[in-house]
Amino acid sequence: MNNYNIEDILKEISQNFKNFTTEIENIESMESLYVLKTKYLGSKSFIINVLSNIKNLPNDLKPVVGKEANIVKKQIEQKINDKEKYFKSLQFEQELLKERIDLTLPGTKLNIGRKHIISQVIEEIEEIFIGMGFNIAEGPEVETEYYNFEALNTPEDHPARSLHDTFFISENILLRTQTSPVQIRYMEKNKPPIYIISPGKVYRRDYDISHIPMFTQIEGLVVDYGINFRNLKWILEKFVHEIFGKERKVRFRPHYFPFTEPSAEVDVSCNICNGKGCRTCGGSGWLEILGAGMVDPNLYKYVGYNADEISGFAFGMGIERICMLKFGINDIRLFYENDLRFINQF
Ligand code: DAH
């Protein structure tokens, strides 16, 4: 016990602290700071050793050594903490530098999608008819033979059925070949007055420059009291003038459809030759745009209407064809090849 010399102990403590201060000055990384921390504050470090040996000191030395060792220990801790903070802030600054955004760099181009030309034209046509008081109706693309043919006055042995190259799903279920079944579905659920158009996809087994297996039609149906052919003419002329321009002439040509009587095909004067006749219109001066007619009273039997009280007209058009004529496109297949050079023109 007697060999303890307080002077020596205190000297040693202060020497240890001096060593520490010179060493920490030269520390340049967090890793070496941690090594230093273990060296000066770890369980085998000098100062911890002094502190745990205090119990063995003579009583009068205990408070002096204890006080001094604790002061030094605190200072070491303080300096290590300060250094640690300093390294952390350095690290943070470096991360900020790495993540810095250069606002002067040019942006990356985003390809924003746009509405397909067919959708655009459907919307344009919808707006024209909504403006005349029509509503929009919808029907299923997977249909029954009943709605697609039978209730449209086209019984099984009817020659018009073979004009449609139908995709059958099962015996009586098919992909609708026209939007006309919506006429029946709508009349079943609603009473006149009816003023609707119904856009949608239709399907036929066809593929060439003017036919594709899936295309788009818009059906129109008006049923009300006292509706006549002049009303049909007025509405369709108005439509043609809105979609193609006021200068275009409209012609009704007698035709046949199973569900209208009388029926007509509607032509618009050729915009290339102004009606004189050219290659686009096949020399006739006219371009066919849609089918129409007075609703055949026979249809009313299927939906429980009294044909003596009401009358109506219907029309149907292919949207791709309207687009082709409107924009001078000569191959219907272009609409669905997804070639952006084509699609982005509209
Ligand atoms: N559904 C007919 C077709 O696809 C087009 C049509 C013609 C619809 C006359 C009609 C109409 O509503 O009255 O060829």
Report yes or no on 235 lying in a domain. yes
- H or E element at residue 92: helix 62-99
Residue type, 211: H
Do 169 and 39 reside in the same domain of the chain?
no
Can you give the pLDDT at residue 102? Answer: 86
Whether 212 is covered by a domain: the verdict is: yes
304 pLDDT higher than 60: yes
**Intra-chain end-to-end CA distance of the chain, in Å:** 101
In this structure, are 146 and 263 located in the same domain? yes
**Residue 101, Cα to own-chain centre: how many angstroms?**
30
Q: Are 278 and 272 in contact (CB under 8 A)?
A: yes
| Pairing verdict, β 135-136 and 142-144 | unpaired
Q: Is the pLDDT of residue 191 over 90?
A: yes
- H helices of 100-228, in order, are 117-130, 145-148, 160-163, 181-189
Say yes or no: 335 and 273 in one domain. Answer: yes
Residue 79 shares a structural domain with residue 140: no
- At residue 13, the pLDDT reads 94
> In the predicted model, is pLDDT for residue 1 greater than 50?
no
Distance 338 CA to ligand 1 centre (A): 28
pLDDT above 90 as % of the chain: 82
Q: Is 238 exposed, middle or buried (0-12, 13-18, 19+ CB in 10 A)?
A: middle
- How many CA atoms lie within 13 Å of 94's alpha carbon, on the beta-carbon side? 6
Gap between the Cα atoms of 322 and 160, Å rounded: 23
Atom of ligand 1 nearest to the CA of 313: 13
The answer to whether residue 46 sits within a structural domain is yes
Provide mean pLDDT across the span 191-216.
Answer: 95
Listed residues 72, 99, 126: the one ending a domain: 99
Of 162, 166, 177, 180, the residue with max ligand 1 atoms within 8 A of its CB, to mutate for a pocket test, comes to: 180
**What per-residue confidence (pLDDT) applies to 107?**
87
What percentage of the chain reaches a pLDDT higher than 70? 99
Does residue 294 share a domain with residue 266?
yes
Q: Which atom of ligand 1 is nearest to the CA of 183?
A: 12
pLDDT for residue 162? 75
Please state which of the ranges 34-43, 107-116, 320-329 shows the lowest mean pLDDT. Answer: 107-116
Verify that 288 and 233 share a domain, yes or no. yes
Q: Are 312 and 223 in contact (CB under 8 A)?
A: yes
Q: Ligand 1 centroid to 163 CA: how many Å?
A: 12
* In-domain check, residue 110: no
Angle at 125 between CA 279 and CA 205, to 5 degrees: 60
* Minimal-distance CA residue to ligand 1 atom 4: 178
CA atoms within 13 A on the CB side of 159: 2
Query: Looking at the structure, do residues 134 and 241 belong to the same domain, yes or no?
Result: yes
Look at residue 106 and tell me if it is in a domain. Answer: no
Quick one: 341 exposed, middle or buried, by C-beta within 10 A (0-12, 13-18, 19+)? exposed
Is the domain of 142 the same as that of 242? yes
* Mean pLDDT of the chain, nearest integer: 94
Nearest alpha carbon to residue 192 among 311, 302, 315, 294:
311
Please choose from 259, 289, 296, 317 the residue to mutate so as to test ligand 1's pocket, defined by most ligand atoms within 8 A of CB. 259
| 21 pLDDT above the threshold of 50 | yes
pLDDT value of residue 272: 85
Q: Where are the beta strands (DSSP E) in 75-227?
A: 135-136, 142-144, 173-175, 194-203, 214-224
Residue 189 has pLDDT above 90, yes or no: yes
Least confident of 102-111, 218-227, 264-273, 317-326: 102-111
Say yes or no: 214 and 295 in one domain.
Answer: yes
Q: Which one of 99, 134, 155 terminates a domain?
A: 99
Candidates 153, 222, 257, 295: which one to mutate for ligand 1, based on the most atoms within 8 Å of Cβ? Answer: 257
Atom of ligand 1 nearest to the CA of 177: 4
Residue 280 has pLDDT above 90, yes or no: no
The reply to whether 31 falls in a domain is: yes
Pocket around ligand 1 at a 6 A CB cut-off: 178, 180, 219, 257, 260, 291-293, 314-316
The sign one gets for the Cα dihedral 194, 195, 200, 206 is positive
Long-range contacts of 336-339 (CB under 8 A, 24+ apart): 336/212, 336/214
Q: What does the pLDDT read at residue 125?
A: 98
Domain that residue 260 falls in: 117-343
Determine, yes or no, domain membership for 107: no
Residues 180 and 302 in one domain: yes
Domain identity same for 80 and 186 = no
Mean pLDDT of 72-77: 95
Band of pLDDT at residue 100, cut at 50, 70 and 90: confident
48/12 same-domain check: yes
Q: What's the CATH code of the domain at 278?
A: 3.30.930.10
Question: What is the rounded CA–CA span in Å between residue 30 and residue 274?
Answer: 85
The whole-model pTM stands at 0.71
Q: How many domains does the chain have?
A: 2
Q: Is residue 111 part of a domain?
A: no
Question: For the residues 296-319, what does the mean pLDDT come to?
Answer: 97
- In Å, what is the CA distance from 14 to each residue of 33, 65, 73? 20, 11, 11
- Please give the distance, rounded to the nearest whole angstrom, from the Cα atom of residue 285 to the centre of ligand 1: 23
**Domain limit, last residue, from 70, 99, 128:** 99
Stretch 80-86: mean pLDDT: 95
Confidence of residue 3 (pLDDT cuts 50, 70, 90): low
Say which DSSP state 66 is in.
H
Segment 139-181, tens digit of pLDDT:
999 999 999 999 999 998 888 787 678 999 999 999 999 999 9
What's the residue count for the chain?
A: 346
How far does the centroid of ligand 1 lie from the alpha carbon of residue 58, in Å?
115
Q: What's phi and psi for 251, nearest 5 deg? A: -130, 135
